[in-house]
Structure formats: structure tokens, C-alpha cells
């Protein structure tokens, strides 16, 4: 049974342990977590392998679009959301061989980069075979949209059912965003999710999104017209878009709100009060910078005690699918976020959001969460550790 120790062990669900030791069985299940300073400490029969830096559980990528991996570099940075969405729709065509090859490559690279589980958005069935073969645990969110065209809701729903049927469990049907899902389509999605599924929705990425729901005007009208869709029947509720989503989604589902770039403190509190089985706020900082050159105000989420998770979005909107790079970006631009919070966002919160926390997300006896070694942090103690430009991650188990 291999044992490992480092300068600090971060269980995530408990305080860091100086020189902590983790012992695994041959399948990666944690047998012991030990504190050498504890009165009842007994040294392992075989001395643990000594590593520098810290030990943490495997990362959870709570929001990814793996099926778009072949679009890397196809959409220029800084275009803002609506031109970016046009690119996603119009540029995604490629041969099945190219699509599958890039999906498998990025799945492998995510595993090597320490990602243990992924919440994956899919519109098609392209990722299903890779998910069945992968060591990564996937939760598939099969995304549906009809561009607010109530008369097309049933046809849109039927169009996405084959992708839903193809994806392995666990999975759920989900709305893309408030601005692309009509009330009848919300109802069909809710009716398909008959169990204890987690669901997700893209939320408040651009000022035009809230403008549409507050006034009925703005850039979305031209965007819809470009796809042959009319907003003549749309009646703006006079509120930011997230309140519209709260009216039409199922509060009994564990819900992931994704991006949240413009989400205000009062909206965070409203959603927290609405959700009956947990609300999670997924941030994809590099995608936010890639598309809109802005980040959420993470202090709003910290102040609310909200559960934040980390995602990578897709290679259409990112340079790589790496949770470490997302953490590095937050540390660079909003360095007040403590390392302990970042690590919880990147591990246990994501595992809870995807309902994988019985096995993943924290270093606890009986779990099989993966084991990562983070090195070259800045600072000298847990209180001032930060992820810096030189911080590296290596998968141990």
C-alpha cells in the first residue's frame, strides 16, 4: 500500500495537516489519513514517499463542452458573447474522425492535468464513446434550446432526444440559457428529469442578456434575427435574466449556474433561497476573459457563503482545459481569494454539484478521489500560500 507525504496535506473537508500522510490501496482508495503530530500516530510500515508542496484530491471540472474541442483557436478572443455564439453555431462542422480524435486527446490531457470528474455540456452524441472508455467520471448535461420560439419547442426537444439517449449515465436534460429557451421547452426539459438529477444553465455572461429581460431591447434582437428567429412575441419580465430562469426551472434539482459574470449580490441570495437541494455557482475565468474580457466579482460569492465551482468551458473559448490554469487566473486577478477556498471550489464543491462527493472531492478514508501534488506555491504557510506563475500539478494517483 503506497503512502505519500508532503509539506502539507489538504483534505479539503478538514484543516491542512503539516507533513500529513495519505495511504492508498492498489485501486487508489484511501486507507489512512495520518497526522504525525497526533498523540496516537503510528508510522506506516513502509516509510511514505516524501514530496514537496502540498497534496490535494483530484480536480473537478464542473463545466466543459468537450464536443467542441476541434474548434480550438477558431474564434478570436475579445469578440464578446454574441459574435462568439455565432462562431460556435457556424464553425463547428468537421469530419467525424477529427471530432472524435480531438475529444479523445482532450479527455486524456484533462486526466493528465489532474481532472478526476467533468460536468460536460453536450448537444450531440460525439462524446459518448470517449466517456465510456475514460478514467474520468462524467456527468452529461444534454443542452436544449429553441431561441425563445415557443412554436418550435416540441421539434427542438425531439431533435435533442437522440443525444440524450446516447449519453451514458449519469445525465440530465438542461436549458442552454434564459435567452434561448421558451416556456414550453422548459416544461419538456423538467418533465424529462424525473429523478434526483443535477441540472445547469448558462447565466448572466453579458450585459445584453440582462438588457433583453429588463427592457426587451438590445443586441439580442439582431442576434436572433440573424438566425431567422423573431422576438415579437417575447415579453420582457423587467428583471435580470436569472429571475426568469428561477421561475421556470425546478427548485428541487441541484442547480449549477454557469459563468455568472454579472450576477449581483441580491441575485445570489435570491437563487440560494430558491434552491431546495443546493445551488452551485460555476466560474470559468479564462473563458470569461477570452470572450468578454471580464471576470465575476468573487467577493460577492464569498460574502454570501455561496458554493463556487470551477469550470474550463470549451476550447472554443479557452487556451486549454486545465483547472490549475483557471485557479492561476483567479489568483492573479483577484488575489484576495484564499488558497483554501480555491481548492474547495476546484474539488469538493464540484464533486457535490455533480453528486460525486461520496467518492470524490476530498481526502477522506474510503474515498477514491485521485491524488495530486501541487508544487512551487508562493508563500511559506497555509495562511499565505498562493498559486503563482510557476505552480505545477502532478498526478500521483
- The reported pLDDT for the residue numbered 295 is 98
Collapse the DSSP code of 312 into the 3-class scheme (helix H, G, I; strand E, B; otherwise coil) and give the result: coil
- The reported pLDDT for the residue numbered 46 is 86
Which three three-digit cell numbers place residue 31?
486507507
Full DSSP string of 97-162: HHHHHHHHHHHHHHHHTTEEEEEEEESSSTTHHHHHH-SSEEEEEEEE--TT-GGGHHHHHHHHHH
Collapse the DSSP code of 174 into the 3-class scheme (helix H, G, I; strand E, B; otherwise coil) and give the result: strand
CA distances from 151 to 16, 135, 155, 216 (A): 55, 41, 8, 19
- SS3 for 326-387 is HHHHHHHHCCCCCHHHHHHHHCHHHHHHCCCCCCCCCCCCCCCCCCEEEECCECCCCCCCEC
The b/e string for 130-150 (b: 16+ C-beta within 10 A; e otherwise) is bbeebebbbbbbbbbbbbbbe
- The reported pLDDT for the residue numbered 152 is 96
The gap from C-alpha 215 to its chain's centroid, in whole angstroms, comes to 30
133 with 166: CB under 8 angstroms?
no
- Report the distance separating Cα 265 and Cα 29, nearest Å: 40
117 with 369: CB under 8 angstroms?
no
- The reported pLDDT for the residue numbered 44 is 85
CA distance between the termini of the chain: 12
Q: Which residue has the cell 478572443?
A: 77
- The reported pLDDT for the residue numbered 328 is 98
The CATH number assigned to the domain with range 59-353 reads: 3.20.20.140
- Report the distance separating Cα 327 and Cα 314, nearest Å: 16
5 with 50: CB under 8 angstroms?
yes
The class of domain 3-56+368-395 in CATH terms is mainly beta
Domain boundaries, the chain: 3-56+368-395, 59-353
Dihedral sign for Cα 120, 125, 129, 130, please.
Answer: negative
Residues of the chain with pLDDT under 70: none
- Report the distance separating Cα 258 and Cα 313, nearest Å: 9
Amino acid at each position: 500500500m503506497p503512502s505519500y507525504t508532503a509539506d502539507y496535506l489538504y483534505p479539503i473537508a478538514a484543516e491542512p495537516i503539516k507533513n500529513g500522510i495519505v495511504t492508498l490501496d492498489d485501486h487508489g482508495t484511501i486507507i489512512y489519513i495520518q497526522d504525525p503530530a497526533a498523540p496516537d500516530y503510528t508510522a506506516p510500515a513502509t516509510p511514505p514517499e516524501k514530496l514537496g508542496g502540498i497534496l490535494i484530491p483530484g480536480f473537478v471540472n464542473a463545466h466543459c463542452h468537450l464536443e467542441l474541442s476541434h474548434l480550438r483557436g477558431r474564434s478570436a478572443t475579445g469578440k464578446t458573447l454574441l459574435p462568439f455564439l455565432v462562431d460556435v453555431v457556424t464553425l463547428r462542422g468537421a469530419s467525424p474522425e477529427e471530432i472524435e480524435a480531438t475529444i479523445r486527446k482532450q479527455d486524456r490531457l484533462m486526466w493528465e492535468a489532474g481532472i478526476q470528474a467533468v460536468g460536460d455540456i453536450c448537444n450531440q452524441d460525439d462524446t459518448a464513446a470517449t466517456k465510456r472508455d475514460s478514467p474520468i467520471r462524467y456527468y452529461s448535461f444534454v443542452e436544449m434550446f429553441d431561441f425563445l420560439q415557443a412554436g418550435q419547442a416540441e421539434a427542438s426537444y425531439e431533435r435533442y432526444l437522440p443525444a440524450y439517449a446516447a449519453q451514458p449515465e449519469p445525465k440530465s436534460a438542461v436549458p442552454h440559457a434564459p435567452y434561448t429557451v421558451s416556456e414550453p421547452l422548459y416544461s419538456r426539459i423538467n418533465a424529462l428529469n424525473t429523478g434526483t438529477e443535477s441540472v445547469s444553465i448558462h447565466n448572466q455572461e453579458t450585459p445584453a442578456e440582462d438588457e433583453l429581460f429588463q427592457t426587451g431591447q438590445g443586441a439580442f434582437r439582431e442576434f436572433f434575427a440573424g438566425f431567422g428567429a423573431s422576438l415579437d412575441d417575447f415579453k420582457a419580465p423587467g428583471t435580470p435574466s436569472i429571475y426568469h430562469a428561477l421561475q421556470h426551472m425546478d427548485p428541487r434539482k441541484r442547480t449549477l449556474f454557469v459563468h455568472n459574470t454579472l450576477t449581483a449580490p441580491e441575485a445570489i441570495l435570491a437563487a440560494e433561497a430558491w434552491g431546495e437541494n443546493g445551488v452551485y455557482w460555476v466560474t470559468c475565468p479564462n473563458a470569461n476573459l477570452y470572450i468578454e474580457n471580464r471576470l465575476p466579482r468573487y467577493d460577492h460569492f464569498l460574502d454570501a457563503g455561496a458554493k463556487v465551482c470551477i469550470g474550463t468551458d470549451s476550447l472554443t473559448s479557452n487556451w486549454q482545459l486545465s483547472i490549475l490554469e483557471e485557479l492561476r487566473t483567479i489568483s492573479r486577478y483577484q488575489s484576495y481569494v484564499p488558497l483554501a477556498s480555491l481548492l474547495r471550489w476546484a474539488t469538493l464543491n464540484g464533486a457535490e454539484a455533480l453528486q460525486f462527493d461520496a467518492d470524490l472531492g476530498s481526502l477522506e478514508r474510503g474515498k477514491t478521489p485521485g491524488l495530486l501534488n501541487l508544487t512551487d506555491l508562493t508563500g511559506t504557510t497555509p495562511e499565505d500560500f498562493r498559486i503563482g506563475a510557476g505552480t505545477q500539478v502532478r498526478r500521483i494517483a
